[in-house]
Amino acid sequence: MQLIVKQVYNNNSLLVKVGKVREAIVEGKGIGFGKRRGSKVDSNKITKIMYVGDKEDQQQFSSMLKNIPLDIVLVVFYSIDQAKDKYGLALLNYLYLTLSDHIFQMYRKKENGTYQLNQLPSLKDRYPVEYQAARDTWMNINQKLGVNFPPEEIKSIALHYISAKGEEENEEEKSGHNLISNINEIVENIFAAHGIVRNVSNQNYFDRFMVHLQYLVDRVENKNQDSQDLSNIISNNLKEKYPKTYAISQEITRELEDKLNIYLTENERLYFIIHIQRLIQE
C-alpha cells in the first residue's frame, strides 16, 4: 500500500496518508530525511506505525513530537512496546503521548530543581503486572537518559499503564464523536465556572487530560473501563489532601453520568482527580 507524506516531524518521524482514507504516524531511522509533503515513503524503513483517527489525535501527536526531545520519545516508545511484548499488556495508543509528556515534564523538573516525590500509595499488590512493566520503564529511562528518578516514580508510570489498558479499534469501528464533543463541553464549562483555563504553564497537563477524555469514550462505549478499584485508601487520601480538586472531580462525574447516561468507575473518578490537580498546580 502506498504511503504519502502529509507532514514531516523530524528525520525519524512522519505523518503519512495510508491508502485513501487512513492516516498514521510512522517512525524509522532517517525516514524523514529530505522528505516533503507529497513524497512517497519507503515502507522498508518503517520500524513503527501508529494509526490516528482524527485531527485531534494528529494535533496531539504532532505537538508531542515537536516539543519533546527525540531521545525521550524513543525510550518511552521502546518501553511501551517492551511492556506489550514482555507482559502481554493491551494498551491504547494515547499512552505513547501521555507517558512521553509525563517523563518530559519530570525530566524538566529534575533539571531545574523543582521535582517532588509523588504521594501515590503503592500499586504493586493490586496491579503486579503493570507495576513490573513500570519498573522496567523506570530502569530504561534512568539508564538510557542518564537521569536518576527515584523508585517512587514507578508508581506514576504504573498509573499511566493502568489507565491506558484497552484494545484499539479498527478505523471502521470507531464512532462516538458526538459523545466526545459532549464530554469536552461539559468539562470545559465546569472548568470555566471554577476559573480553570488552559495557559502556558498548565497546557501540557490540560492537553493530557483532554486526551484522556477522548479515550474515555472508547472505554465507556466498549465497556472497557478498569473495573478493579485502585483502593479506598487512595480515594480517601486524595479526598483529604485535595478537597477542592476532589469536589471538581465529583461535579464533573455527576454531570457526565446524569447528562450522558453513562457510568464511570471509581478508577475513572480517581484519574480525574490526579489530572485536575496536576493542571491546577501548574
pLDDT at 142 over 90: yes
Specify whether 116 is located in the same domain as 192.
no
Domain of 253, CATH number, reads: 1.10.1790.10
pLDDT at 15 over 60: yes
Percent of the chain with pLDDT over 70: 79
- Cell, residue 256: 457526565
What pLDDT, on the 0 to 100 scale, is given for residue 138? 96
- 228 and 274 co-located in one domain: yes
Q: Pick the residue with more confidence: 77 or 225? A: 77
* Residue 42 lies in domain: 3-52
The edge-to-edge listing of strands for the beta sheet with 48-52 is 3-10, 13-18, 22-27, 48-52
* Average pLDDT of the residues in 245-267: 87
In a domain, 58, yes or no: no
Mean pLDDT of 34-49: 82
- Answer whether residue 168 is part of any domain: no
**For the chain, what is the domain count?**
3
Residue 65 lies in a domain: no
One domain for residues 149 and 186: no
> Stretch 66-95: mean pLDDT, rounded?
83
